[in-house]
Structure 1
Amino acid sequence: MTSVFEYAILGSATAFLIYSIYQRFFHTEPLPPPPPPTAEHRDYTLFELSQYTGADPTKPILMSGNIYDVTPKASMYGPGGPYHNFTGTDASRALGKGVTDRSEANNTNWTDLTSDEMQQLDEWAGFYSARYQKIGNLIE
C-alpha cells in the first residue's frame, strides 16, 4: 500500500516533469519592446518640426526653439498627454508666458516678453537641457 508521503513525492516529481517540459518546449520569452524612434541631429524648420507630434509612432516627439527629443516621456508629450500642445512647435514663447495651449505656439517674437517671462523661459531651457537630448535648432 502506498503512503501519503509517496503520493506527495510522486506528485511533486510529476509536476516538476510537466513544468520542465513546458519550459523547454512551450515557454518563450516575451519580445523586448521596440526601441523608441530617434531623432536626426540637425536643424529643423517650423514646418519640419510640425511633423513630430507623436501622432506617427515611427517618428520621435520633438519640441521648442532648441529642438529637444521628448520621446522618452511620450506619456506626457504624446497624443493625449498633458504637454502634447507643445510638441511639433516652437513652444518657447508659451513656456515663457506660462501658457499651456497652442495660442502662443510658433510665435518666435520675444521682443514683448517681460524680464520675468524671459527669466521663466531661461528656467525652462535649463529644465529641458538637463532632462532631454538637444538634437538641433529651429531655423527660418
Structure 2
Amino acid sequence: FNHLATMPRSALALLAPALPLCGGFVPPNGSPRRFGTTNGAIHPQEKSMTALRLSVAGGAVATAIAGFAGWLYVDGSDDRERRRRREAEEAEYAAYEEERARQAYVEPREYWTEEELRAYDGTRDEDGPILFAADGVVFNVYKGRNFYGPGGEYHIFAGRDATRLLARTMVEEETEEDAKKPLNMAERAALAGWMITFKGKYEIVGKLEGFDPKTTSMTRM
C-alpha cells in the first residue's frame, strides 16, 4: 500500500463509495439513520436498506479494487518501458564501444621506435589508434581522441615521445636550447602525475626503444 501515497485523486476517489462499510451509513445531515423495530424484530424497511447498503458497498469495493489494480498496472507499465529503453541504450552504447575499440586496436609489442610512433598520430585514420610515449611507456590513447587527435588541444603529443612536453606542461615545441636542459624535480613530479592518469585510463602497448629512465627518475638528477 505504499502506492497509496502517490495515487492520483481520480484513483482515490474510487475508494469513496466503500466508506459505508467502515462505519455505517451516514446521510448528508451527519446524523446516523435509525429505523424502528416491531416486537424486537427488524423493521422490513431496515432490512431492505441494509441489503441495499451491502449491495452498493460491495459494488463500490469491487470497482475500487479494479481501479486500483488498473492504476498499478499502468504505473508498472511506465516503469517497464523506462527500463526497456535504458537497457536498449546501454546495449547500443556497449556495441559502439566494442566497435570503436576494434577499429583502434594495435598489436602490442615489446618496443617501439620513435619512427614507428609517427605513423600513429591520428592523421591517417580518424578511427584508428593514436600512440605516444611518456616516460618510456607507449600508450594507445584513442579513447582521448578529442584531446590527442587532429585538431585536439594535445595533438602535439601524438605519434612521438611526449615525455619532456608533458613534464614541462607544454603544448608547443621546445627551443633547441631548452631541449638540452635536464628536467628539474618539479617537472619530473609533474610527469609522474601524468603517468598515474595515463596508466589508469589508456592501454599500454609497449615501451619506447632507447629511452633512458635516468632522465626522468625522481631519485636521480
CA distance in 2, matches of 1:108, 1:123: 21
Would you say 1:117 and 2:184 are equivalent positions? no
**Pairing 1:86-125 to 2, within 5 Å after superposition:** 86-103=157-174, 112-125=182-195
Q: Structure 1 residues 108, 128: closer, same or farther in 2, change over 3 A? A: farther
Deviations 1:119-139 (A, max 9, x none): 111111111111111111110
Instruction: For structure 1, list consecutive stretches of 5 or more residues without a partner in the other structure.
Output: 1-31
Which structure: greater helix fraction?
A: 2
Aligned to 2:32: none
Q: Structure 1 residues 102, 39: closer, same or farther in 2, change over 3 A? A: farther
Q: 1:62 aligns with which of 126, 131, 134?
A: 131
Deviation of 1:102 (Å): 3.2
Report the TM-score, using the length of structure 1 for normalisation: 0.67
Letter in 2 for 1:117: E
CA distance in 2, matches of 1:108, 1:47: 19
Deviation of 1:37 (Å): 1.8
Q: 1:132 aligns with which of 197, 202, 213?
A: 202
Deviation of 1:75 (Å): 1.4
Aligned to 1:26: none
Larger Rg over CA atoms: 2
CA distance in 2, matches of 1:123, 1:80: 25
| 1:86–1:102 Cα contact (<8 Å) kept | no
CA distance in 1, matches of 2:150, 2:174: 18
Deviation of 1:100 (Å): 1.1
Letter in 2 for 1:40: E
Q: 1:38 aligns with which of 105, 109, 120?
A: 105
Structure 1 stretches of at least 4 aligned residues deviating more than 4 Å after TM superposition: none
CA distance in 2, matches of 1:54, 1:108: 25
Deviation of 1:108 (Å): 9.0
How many residues are aligned here? Answer: 107
Q: Report which structure shows greater RCO (CA 8 Å, sep ≥6).
A: 1
Deviations 1:29-68 (A, max 9, x none): xxx7643321211121000011100011164100113111
Secondary structure of the corresponding residue to residue 113 of structure 1: coil
Aligned to 2:116: 48
| 1:52–1:61 Cα contact (<8 Å) kept | yes
